[in-house]
Amino acid sequence: MKTAQHGKGLRYKVRWLDPEGAERSKSFPDGQLKAARDFRSKQEVDMALGDYIDPKAGKVTVAAFAKSWLADLDVDELSRQNMEMRFRKRVIPCLGKAEIGSVKPSAIRNWDRLLREDGLSDRYRHTLFGNVSAMFTAAMEDGLISKHPCRGKSVKQPKAAQKKIIPWPEARVWTVQRKLKERFRVTVDMAAGIGLRQGEVFGLAVEDVDFLRGVVHVRRQVKTVRYKHVFALPKYDKTRDVPLPEPVKLALAEHIRRFPPREITLPWDTPDGKPTMARLIVTSVRGLAVAANDFNRNYWKVALKAADVPFGRYENGMHELRHFFASVLLDQGESIKAVAEWLGHADPSFTLKIYTHLMPSSADRTKNVIGNLYGRRPETDSDGPGTAQDDQQAE
């Protein structure tokens, strides 16, 4: 006689040896003999092809794997901090509790839909998707999953639309500079005149400026990591030398005369890094290293408002001055390679992608070259109105 428990137990057990020789097993309930046989066949095929994945390996949650993966990343501490923030706010709430081996393309599609419903920009969704995709790539390399959920044919990666750069007109640059507090007006010369990033402006020391040779050595930046100011290499860990134009040289010299540099000691790269001292040219009213967020809130946006320039969280930031610097050089025919070097870009192709629309067109250059050629041509009698008649007589 059948009992109440008939058909409810795990009747079939599949046993196999994994590639390391350890015995593995999985049980199936009554009535699933075919499923058990199919599972056994799949394990045998996967091992033969070298695609074997331990069924228990993917039991770790996305949140747990993400935590260890982020901790192991070989990136600077600020980048790690920003990625941790993205995962904490935008990934873990949706995917964190799921076992990493159970995440399917449908889960990625649903996650991206929620991001769209929250009004996130395509650019930010593109960044988030890239971070999550990199995490699942690491999970595949660790043998936790056999298929990448972000690479399913039904998953559409958000595209980061490249916003066309429209450089500030000259008048706006000088107007905003006049509206800044006198102590910080030189920051405009440093960004618009030699193309420094904001952190590089605040990290430039007297010893980095060769007034005699007219060269600025960009060697460090000031940035905030874990709520603490640190010195670090410029972006991409790329130091560089930038030509120092005479007007910017004079502006720096006058600023140094009026606001003497201060010796600032900060840890290098991380909050617990080696203490490093530099005599910074631009410091706060209290003689401390300038925090970008404080400067933007208390001085930069105040100047924009006084100059009737619209602003938002990302609109018309100080980075516009670097765009202005690049646009002026390209308009005058400077090479992309040189501009990329002075901006500190890792690859000239990146510079070309951003600023190609600001370069003089080939048609305009052709007209100017040929026009200049004809402008140097000496005038002769044959150029006058009698040319056609003279030709007929010659025939």
**What CATH number is associated with residue 244?**
1.10.443.10
Q: Same structural domain for residues 39 and 124?
A: no
Instruction: Report the pLDDT averaged over residues 333-347.
Output: 92
Instruction: Report the pLDDT averaged over residues 305-321.
Output: 91
> Is residue 381 in a domain?
no
Q: What integer pLDDT is reported at residue 393 of this predicted model?
A: 47
Q: What integer pLDDT is reported at residue 51 of this predicted model?
A: 66
> Is residue 134 in a domain?
yes
> Is residue 208 in a domain?
yes
pLDDT band (50, 70, 90) for residue 169? very high
Q: What integer pLDDT is reported at residue 50 of this predicted model?
A: 66
Q: Same structural domain for residues 129 and 228?
A: no
Q: Is 205 helix (H, G, I), strand (E, B) or coil?
A: strand
- Encode pLDDT of 43-81 as tens digits: 777 777 666 666 676 789 999 999 999 999 998 888 999
Compute the residue count for the chain. 395
Q: Same structural domain for residues 238 and 303?
A: yes
Q: Same structural domain for residues 176 and 293?
A: yes
- HSE (CB half, 13 Å, CA atoms) of 239? 10
Q: Same structural domain for residues 72 and 106?
A: yes
Contacts of the segment 119-128: beta carbons below 8 A, 24+ positions apart = 120/90, 122/158, 122/159, 122/160, 122/161, 123/160, 123/161, 125/158, 126/157, 126/158, 126/159, 126/160, 127/86, 127/160, 128/86, 128/90, 128/91
Q: What integer pLDDT is reported at residue 6 of this predicted model?
A: 54
Structurally, the chain folds into a number of domains equal to 3
176: exposed, middle or buried (Cβ count in 10 Å: 0-12, 13-18, 19+)? buried
For residues 34 and 48, give the distance between their C-alpha atoms in angstroms, rounded to a whole number: 21
> Is residue 39 in a domain?
yes
For residues 81 and 75, give the distance between their C-alpha atoms in angstroms, rounded to a whole number: 10
Q: Same structural domain for residues 123 and 219?
A: no
- Decide if pLDDT at 387 tops 50: no
> Is residue 107 in a domain?
yes
- Decide if pLDDT at 392 tops 50: no
Q: Same structural domain for residues 27 and 102?
A: no
For residues 235 and 78, give the distance between their C-alpha atoms in angstroms, rounded to a whole number: 11
For residues 296 and 313, give the distance between their C-alpha atoms in angstroms, rounded to a whole number: 10
Q: Same structural domain for residues 176 and 324?
A: yes
Q: Same structural domain for residues 20 and 119?
A: no
Instruction: Report the pLDDT averaged over residues 344-369.
Output: 79
Instruction: State both tokens at 252.
Output: 């720096």
Yes or no: say if 66 and 27 are a contact pair by the CB < 8 Å rule: no
**What is the DSSP-derived secondary structure letter of residue 268?**
B
Instruction: Report the pLDDT averaged over residues 144-167.
Output: 89
CATH number at residue 85: 1.10.150
**For a pLDDT cut of 90, what percent of the chain falls above it?**
63
Q: Which of 226-230, 309-313, 340-344 has the lowest mean pLDDT?
A: 309-313
Yes or no: say if 195 and 322 are a contact pair by the CB < 8 Å rule: yes
- Decide if pLDDT at 124 tops 90: yes
Yes or no: say if 309 and 300 are a contact pair by the CB < 8 Å rule: no
Phi/psi of residue 255, each to 5°? -65, -45
- Encode pLDDT of 9-54 as tens digits: 677 888 877 767 778 788 888 888 888 888 888 777 777 766 666 6
Q: For the chain, what is the largest distance between any 2 Cα atoms, rounded to a whole number of angstroms?
A: 128
The overall average pLDDT reported for the chain is 88
Task: Give the residue from 104, 127, 142 where a domain finishes.
Answer: 142
Q: What integer pLDDT is reported at residue 390 of this predicted model?
A: 47
Q: What integer pLDDT is reported at residue 385 of this predicted model?
A: 47
For residues 230 and 220, give the distance between their C-alpha atoms in angstroms, rounded to a whole number: 10
Q: Same structural domain for residues 42 and 90?
A: no
> Is residue 108 in a domain?
yes
- Decide if pLDDT at 232 tops 90: yes
Range of the domain at 28: 10-49
Q: Is 115 helix (H, G, I), strand (E, B) or coil?
A: helix
Q: Which of 193-197, 271-275, 306-310, 328-332 has the lowest mean pLDDT?
A: 328-332
Q: Same structural domain for residues 120 and 227?
A: no
Q: Same structural domain for residues 351 and 239?
A: yes
Residue spans of beta strands (DSSP E) within the chain: 10-17, 23-29, 209-210, 215-218, 221-225, 228-232, 240-243, 262-267, 275-280
> Is residue 395 in a domain?
no
pLDDT band (50, 70, 90) for residue 308? very high
> Is residue 237 in a domain?
yes
